[in-house]
Amino acid sequence: MRCCADAKGGRRLEGGKVGAGQRGDWRVSRLAVSSHSVSRSAHAAIVHDEGDGMMSGERKRRETLMIAVCGVLGFAAILVLSVGIASIRDSTDDSLADLSRVQARQSAPSTRRAASPERLEASDPQGPVPVGNPARWITADDYPVAAFHRNEQGKVGVDLQIAATGSVVACRISESSGHESLDQAACRALRSRARFAPARDANGTPIAATWHRNVVWRLPS
């Protein structure tokens, strides 16, 4: 029985060894599988880390490229803006210069037009100017008595020679009345009463000149 028991026990023991060996083999196999799984996980982790590193490097290169592109575009924009401002400034300066030339051309004719009347006025000689009222230089009291009694009347044309001082220096009959007494009476009255401002030439210098006057002798009706 013991033997059997031993045998059984041996068998049990043998079976136990076999079972233990089987269990040990299963455990080893499982450990190998577990180790293989861990190895694959580690490899996956390494691959993942390497992939992350590659993606991170690619991202950095893209960011660097984007920064460089933005810098170039910003510099180009600043350059274009500077050129535009310079062009506007140059065009403004040209416009101001053109405006100055136009104003100069417009003001020049005005100066010439303003100067023209002065030249015309200076080139227009001025004749002798009577001082006072010429109608009062001959009155009814100057009518010759003899001519009055003879009923003589008529018109006398008189030219007075005026000196540069404005005084009357001569009297000439340009048109006779037909009566010497009336002609002489006209010259006599004018030479004694007529006063003038002298005539002037284009430069304003006083000069001698002639002044014409018609004297009408008429009897009361």
Whether residue 16 is contained in a domain is answered as: no
Whether residue 116 is contained in a domain is answered as: no
Alpha helices by DSSP H, the chain: 2-123, 145-149, 180-193
Instruction: Give the residue with greater pLDDT, 214 vs 113.
Output: 214
User: Quick check: 8 pLDDT over 70?
Assistant: no
* CA–CA distance, 176 with 214 (Å, rounded to integer): 10
* CA–CA distance, 133 with 71 (Å, rounded to integer): 97
Amino acid found at 94 = D
Average pLDDT over residues 180-204: 95
Provide the domain limits for residue 167: 129-217
Whether residue 24 is contained in a domain is answered as: no
Check residue 120 and give its pLDDT.
Answer: 43
User: Which two three-digit tokens encode residue 95?
Assistant: 């416009």
| Number of structural domains the chain divides into | 1
- Paired sense of beta strands 168-175 and 199-200, if any: unpaired
* CA–CA distance, 168 with 160 (Å, rounded to integer): 6
* CA–CA distance, 132 with 135 (Å, rounded to integer): 9
3-state class (DSSP) for residue 34? helix
User: Quick check: 17 pLDDT over 80?
Assistant: no
What share of the chain has pLDDT > 90, as a percent? Answer: 42
- Render pLDDT for 31-75 as a digit per residue (tens, 0 to 9): 344 444 444 554 444 444 455 556 667 777 777 777 877 777 776
Amino acid found at 45 = A
Whether residue 115 is contained in a domain is answered as: no
Whether residue 210 is contained in a domain is answered as: yes
Whether residue 43 is contained in a domain is answered as: no
Whether residue 82 is contained in a domain is answered as: no
CATH number at residue 190: 3.30.2420
3-state class (DSSP) for residue 167? coil
